[in-house]
Chain A
Amino acid sequence: MSAPAERSVSVNGAPCRVWEKGRGSPAFYLAGFGGLPRWTPFLDRLAERRRVIAPSLPGFPGAAGHDRLDTLIDWVAATLDLVEGAGLAGGDLIGASVGGALAAEVTALSPGLVRRLVLIAPFGLYDPSAPPTDLWAQKPPSVPGLLCAEPKAYNDHMAPPEGVSAEEWPIITTRASEAAARLLWPLADTRLERRLHRIRCPTTILWGAADKLLPPSYAERFAKGIAGKTTTAIIPGAGHLADLDQPARVAEAVLTALG
């Protein structure tokens, strides 16, 4: 894989990294738990056909400023600043996990911002009969197996990237976990349900069949709430971070969805 081009967008005065690779019409990607410590095979597949733009949300690797965001409206405004600053204006948006919750929010609240939306196991809803697993109350060794069907996929993704010291890396990964917690603590219910009807663009919902954080039954709740035409696909062999587990399958599904 060749390295993506890198630039920065300022959000509330804090720099947020934007990675970009490939040619074609733009597809924006907001990552989930853990963020993007490195470029991934999934994004590389997309970049064969699209110009892939991956901005880092505040607090996730490459981006600062989560500690300035106190409320959901702060997060939504920051996400708008971020994706608009990265160039999103009527293009396609893909959001996974934590990034999926915010992708859904900005699509709901900013008409015309998004042409087609893809949500990969997004957070934001709460089903009392199947509450999200508490990822922040886990012993560290069990975390990879909760996030990916194949723990190695997660461990490889989260290994210290080149150029980061062994002392600093755990602080960066803890910060990413904290940023997710800051948005979603304690129940991961952002009350998105109340705004789903404002999503009017065609939306594809992808879910790992083996998601241990949010069961695939959530896909249906999203599909029911969204006003635009929805398509749902369950990805076999994938956990919560489905695009880490099954890069080729998820990329194919995304490319099909974006047309």
Chain B
Amino acid sequence: MKLLWFHLMPYTELPDDFRERHNSVWVDIDRGLLDPAVAHRLYNEFMDELEYAAAAGFDAVCVNEHHANGYGLMPSPNLIAAALARRTSDAALCILGNSLALYNPPTRVAEEMAMIDCISGGRLIAGFPVGTPMDTCFAYGQNPSTLRARYLEAHDLVLEAWTRRETFAFNGRFNQLRYVNTWPHPVQKPHPPIWIPGGGSVETWQWCAAMDYVYCYLSYFGYKAGRETMMGFWREMERLGKDRNPYRAGFLQFVGVAETRDEAVKLYKEPAEYFYGRCLHVDSRYVNPPGYNSEATQRARVTSQVVTAAQRAATFSGGATWDEILAKGFVIIGSPDEVAMQLRQVAVDLNVGHLMLLLQFGNMGRDLANHNTRLFAERVLPQLRDLYDKDWEDRWWPKPLPKQDRAVPQPPVREAAE
């Protein structure tokens, strides 16, 4: 199976009384809480952590897009991925992703991702989420009633921009372009693998099946809460006559590894409480603009993941948090063997071939994040690698240029002093 290292890039210095004194971590988070000098340090440390993970042997490093968000400092994941393209050599670069409806014209996404695919020699995974209501409808002012139609059209445009061999005109419902001609176009042909992070809507599953895309369930609430969604996904695949190739799916899990479980508690309790306390403090006013969920989804009574997240976050309160985090499996902690055993069970139970790990979370610093990453890479990852590899082909993994054809970034050479 594939193990992917995922960074949210949370701001690590939200105050202790954030929940009491501040309205929301998202949309209208207090500007004054961010110190750009701290952001300078954090970006550099976070990118160190991503590079460390890539060097440690993870199959991919993952970045994602959020706007006006205190737990996600990546309004532009493409900037980070571009930097990683130069500082990593083998790991796939998984952008999960670009919210297509936010880009005007959406060919911007086709261009930037093609650039990253070229710079990295074909290591890009292109993720296309609709985007949360907080990101799209509120922070970016998109109309919730047209968001999905715009998203689907932008997807078609990007795909055409990547695959057509000639300059073409695009006369869409929302986008009109006389000349579409993406320079460069991607290394990977016909295009980089496309992964769709989504909530639990049947329509998304059906679309992934029809397009042969990977469906990713990026829940912050662990494998127990995610089980129902993933079971629903596989039931729908079966109904549609698709095989159970576990590489059709991706799943996100928070993990903390230490020598012993007791030590893991000591190390990871605080960052977990920081994340589930402060980072998920989302004002519920922003979670359900009318039209964001289709009527079919409303009828199916499938609440979107973000609604669930905000409702869950709203129920958190002080003391019981850590017990709940562990009992409900939001975070898996333990010794390397314990974690490996649990994750293997999770992967088998959910039938997931792409496991995305959040090994930095909350206010965890670089040293601890790297410690977690190293223990995982050296002692957990080898126990999981073999899973599914004999039985299934991962048709959704990047196909880079042969190693010998890939450019090697060269350190700058100083001219001799004049």
Contact = CB atoms under 8 A, between A and B. Distances in A.
Interface of A: 66-67, 70, 136-139, 167, 170-171, 174-175, 177-182, 185-186
Nearest 4 pairs of A and B residues by beta carbon: A178-B291, A182-B145, A178-B290, A177-B290
B89 interface: no
B298 A174 contact: yes
B285 A139 contact: yes
B308 interface: no
Interface in B283-339: 284-286, 289-291, 295, 298-299
Contact of B298 (A137, A171, A185): A171
A56 to B, nearest CB: 17
B138 A181 contact: no
Nearest to A170: B298
A66 B149 CA distance: 13
B290 A174 contact: yes
Given A137-B138, A177-B290, A185 B144 contact: yes
Nearest to B27: A137
A177 B288 CA distance: 12
A181 B145 contact: yes
Interface centre among B141, B286, B295 (most CB of A within 10 A): B295
B335 to A, nearest CB: 44
B295 A70 contact: no
Given A178-B145, A182-B145, A138 B289 contact: no
Contacts, number: 51
Interface centre among A66, A138, A167, A186 (most CB of B within 10 A): A186
Interface in B167-203: 173-174
B299 A182 contact: no
Interface residues of B, number: 18
Given A182-B143, A185-B143, A138 B291 contact: no
Contacts of B145: 66-67, 178-179, 181-182, 185
A224 B250 CA distance: 58
A138 B286 CA distance: 8
Given A138-B285, A174-B298, A186 B141 contact: yes
Nearest to B286: A137
Given A182-B146, A185-B144, 12 more contacts: A67-B145, A137-B289, A139-B285, A170-B298, A174-B298, A175-B295, A178-B144, A178-B145, A178-B290, A181-B290, A182-B145, A185-B141
Interface string B143-173: 1111000000000000000000000000001
A204 to B, nearest CB: 31
A192 B138 CA distance: 23
A171 B294 CA distance: 10
Contact of B285 (A137, A167, A174, A182): A137
Contact of A136 (B173, B174, B290, B295): B290
Contacts of B146: 70, 182
A138 B137 CA distance: 14
A66 B291 CA distance: 11
A181 B285 contact: no
Nearest to B143: A185
Interface in B53-84: none
Contact of B289 (A67, A136, A170): A136
Interface in B5-55: none
Contacts of B141: 185-186
A136 B147 CA distance: 15
B299 A181 contact: no
Nearest to B283: A137
Contacts of B285: 137-139
A182 B148 CA distance: 13
Contacts of A182: 143, 145-146, 291
B290 A186 contact: no
B27 to A, nearest CB: 8
Interface in B318-376: none
Contacts of A171: 295, 298-299
B139 to A, nearest CB: 11
A181 B289 contact: yes
B138 A70 contact: no
A167 B173 CA distance: 32
A186 B137 CA distance: 8
A35 to B, nearest CB: 13
Given A136-B290, A174-B290, A181 B295 contact: no
Contact of B143 (A139, A170, A186): A186
A187 to B, nearest CB: 8
Interface string B194-235: 000000000000000000000000000000000000000000
A137 B23 CA distance: 13
Nearest to A136: B289
B208 to A, nearest CB: 23
Nearest to B299: A171
A177 B295 CA distance: 13
Contacts of B289: 136-137, 181
Interface string B121-143: 00000000000000001100101
Nearest to A167: B299
